[in-house]
Each structure stands twice: as structure tokens, then as C-alpha cells.
């Protein structure tokens, strides 16, 4: 076992019972659970409380993106959750002022991280979305990560492909949370910029967000253990 388990399992389900069952089964095998919008919109604060009672730290992945005042107010509401999420996040493309206002609202009560460029977006996709100056997801992610750090955030969500540049620019102490993880023999599905767990850790990931490779397995606990064994064998 690694000293600190780097796996954050993405409990991407709108079903309360399934989320709780997965969390219980995976508690000994992962470091935290990522709870996203499909769960939170369906079950709200009561569902969050029931899931948190399982006892794993929560990365609340709601990816806020709005004007600074609205995002700061949203963060203040999230800080009233009990227990507080270990990590909350927003989109770095909301800009410096939005990130700074959110960091002031969170005030160290949770780690606050910024999504840079979604791992489901290719260079062509970001071009098509109108980011005309950067038909290059890696360069764009590096720029957004630097902006997030300057606004006082604790870290970023980034693709494994963006890690080396972000580590080079921002050092070892900036938290990197990395989705788009696919063990060697699994399909990329809707993700485009992916890597194996071993490659992502070698590139400097702190936390690996892993969803379907664990939750879609016949035995999720066994799948998580197999990933950890691969990391220990590095
Ligand atoms: O199933 P899979 O391992 O692809 O799940 C990845 C999880 O990480 C999903 O919950 C997705 O919302 C999230 N995520 C991502 N890319 C980002 C940020 C979050 O895939 N840039």
C-alpha cells in the first residue's frame, strides 16, 4: 500500500443506495471519494450527509463558473456543509477575480482547486469552442494553472498530459488532481487526453480521479487494489 492512498474514486451515479454501497465497499481501498453534480443535484445536502457518514473524505466536484460574487456566495453555502468537503472546485476560465473571490470565501476551510482544460477536450475541441489563441490544450492548461496559483488557489484539476508543464512552472507544492486515468487494458470512452495510473503518478500527480475503471468493474474493490499494486510495483 502507498503511504497516502492517491485514488479518489468518482462516484458518478445519481442513485443514493448505489453511491453508499460503492463508498462502503471501497473505503479500505481508496483515499477519498469524488461526488459530482449528478449526485448532488439529485440528493442535495441530505444525500451528501448520508454519503459522508461512510467516513471517506469528499472531493465535491461541482465545478462552479459564474461572476465572482455569485461563485463566492456559492462557495460560502458549500462551506456550511457538515462535514466540510476536503476539496471543492471551480473552472479556471472564470478568471482571476472569480478565483480570488472564491478563495477568500473558502478561506482555507477546504482545499480549493481549479479545473483547467477538461480531459474530454482535444486541441480541436478547444479551438472549436472559440479559444482561438491556443489550439493547444497543454499550453492553455499551463496558463490557467498559473492564473489559479496567482489567485491563491491550492491546486488544479488537469490532464495527465498537462502535468509535466504545470509541475515545471509551479513546483511540487501545488496540488494536482488528475482525471483521464485509464489502466493499460481499458477503453478511453469519452476521455481524450488519458494516461495509465503509473504514468500519471510518474508525471507528478498527487491525486488520481478514477471513475469507470473502478466503479464499472465486476469487483470494484479488487479493481482499486489492482491499480494500487501497479503503483507500488513502479
Ligand atoms: O470514469 P472516468 O474515470 O472517466 O471519470 C472521470 C471523472 O473525473 C468524472 O467524474 C469527470 O466528471 C471528472 N473530470 C474529468 N475531467 C476533468 C475534470 C473532472 O474527467 N477535467
Mutation test of ligand 1: which of 13, 180, 210, 223 has the most ligand atoms closer than 8 Å to its C-beta? Answer: 180
Closest residue by CA, ligand 1 atom 10: 10
Is the separation of the CB atoms in 28 and 61 below 8 Å? no
Residue 118 in contact with ligand 1 by CB distance below 6 A: yes
- 220-223 — which CB contacts under 8 Å span 24+ positions? 220/9, 220/22, 220/25, 220/26, 221/25, 221/26, 221/28, 221/29
Ligand 1 atom with the shortest distance to the CA of 34: 10
The per-residue pLDDT for range 175-224, each reduced to its tens digit, is 999 999 999 878 888 878 889 999 999 999 999 999 999 999 999 999 99
> What spacing in Å lies between the alpha carbon of 138 and ligand 1's midpoint?
17
Mutation test of ligand 1: which of 7, 9, 10 has the most ligand atoms closer than 8 Å to its C-beta? Answer: 10
Ligand 1 atom with the shortest distance to the CA of 116: 21
Domain of residue 177 covers 7-232
State the alpha helices, DSSP H only, in the chain: 16-26, 37-52, 68-78, 96-106, 123-128, 137-150, 163-170, 197-202, 212-215, 220-232
| pLDDT value at residue 121 | 80
- In this structure, what CATH number is given to the domain that contains residue 146? 3.20.20.70
Residue 2 lies in a domain: no
> What spacing in Å lies between the alpha carbon of 46 and ligand 1's midpoint?
24
| pLDDT value at residue 132 | 64
Active site residue 222: no
The per-residue pLDDT for range 41-86, each reduced to its tens digit, is 999 999 999 999 999 999 999 999 999 999 999 999 999 999 999 9
Q: Give the CA angle between residues 217, 59, 31 to the nearest 5°.
A: 60
Residue 1 lies in a domain: no
> What spacing in Å lies between the alpha carbon of 84 and ligand 1's midpoint?
21
| pLDDT value at residue 2 | 45
| pLDDT value at residue 1 | 39
| pLDDT value at residue 117 | 86
DSSP 185-211: TS--TT--S-B-HHHHHHTT-SEEEE-
The per-residue pLDDT for range 115-170, each reduced to its tens digit, is 998 878 888 887 787 776 566 778 889 999 999 999 999 999 999 999 999 999 99
Residue 90 in contact with ligand 1 by CB distance below 6 A: no
Residue 10 in contact with ligand 1 by CB distance below 6 A: yes
Q: Among 63, 84, 100, 135, which one carries the catalytic annotation?
A: 63
| pLDDT value at residue 154 | 98
Model confidence pTM above 0.75: yes
Tell me the mean pLDDT in the region 24-51.
Answer: 98
Residue 209 in contact with ligand 1 by CB distance below 6 A: yes
| pLDDT value at residue 178 | 96
Q: Is the pLDDT of residue 7 over 90?
A: yes
Domains: count for the chain: 1
| pLDDT value at residue 137 | 79
Residue 11 in contact with ligand 1 by CB distance below 6 A: no
Closest residue by CA, ligand 1 atom 13: 179
| pLDDT value at residue 234 | 65
Amino acid at each position: 500500500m502507498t503511504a497516502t492512498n492517491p485514488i479518489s474514486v468518482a462516484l458518478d451515479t445519481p442513485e443514493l443506495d448505489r453511491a453508499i454501497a460503492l463508498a462502503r465497499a471501497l473505503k479500505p481501498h481508496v483515499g477519498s471519494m469524488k461526488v459530482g453534480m449528478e449526485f448532488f443535484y439529485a440528493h442535495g445536502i441530505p444525500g451528501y450527509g448520508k454519503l459522508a457518514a461512510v467516513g471517506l473524505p469528499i472531493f465535491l466536484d461541482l465545478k462552479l463558473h459564474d461572476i465572482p460574487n455569485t461563485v463566492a456566495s456559492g462557495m460560502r453555502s458549500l462551506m456550511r456543509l457538515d462535514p466540510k468537503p476536503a476539496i471543492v472546485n471551480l473552472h479556471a476560465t472564470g478568471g482571476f477575480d472569480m478565483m480570488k473571490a472564491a478563495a477568500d470565501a473558502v478561506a482555507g476551510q477546504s482545499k480549493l482547486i481549479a479545473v483547467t482544460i477538461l480531459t474530454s477536450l482535444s486541441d480541436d475541441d478547444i479551438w472549436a469552442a472559440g479559444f482561438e489563441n491556443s489550439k493547444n490544450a497543454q499550453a492553455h492548461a499551463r496558463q490557467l494553472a498559473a492564473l489559479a496559483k496567482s489567485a491563491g488557489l491550492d491546486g488544479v484539476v488537469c490532464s495527465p498530459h498537462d502535468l509535466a508543464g504545470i509541475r515545471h512552472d509551479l513546483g511540487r507544492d501545488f496540488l494536482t488532481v488528475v482525471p483521464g486515468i485509464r489502466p493499460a487494458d481499458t477503453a478511453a470512452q469519452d476521455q481524450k487526453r488519458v494516461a495509465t495510473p503509473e504514468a500519471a503518478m510518474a508525471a507528478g500527480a498527487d491525486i488520481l480521479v478514477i471513475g469507470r475503471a473502478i466503479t464499472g468493474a465486476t469487483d470494484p474493490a479488487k479493481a482499486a487494489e489492482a491499480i494500487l499494486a501497479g503503483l507500488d510495483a513502479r
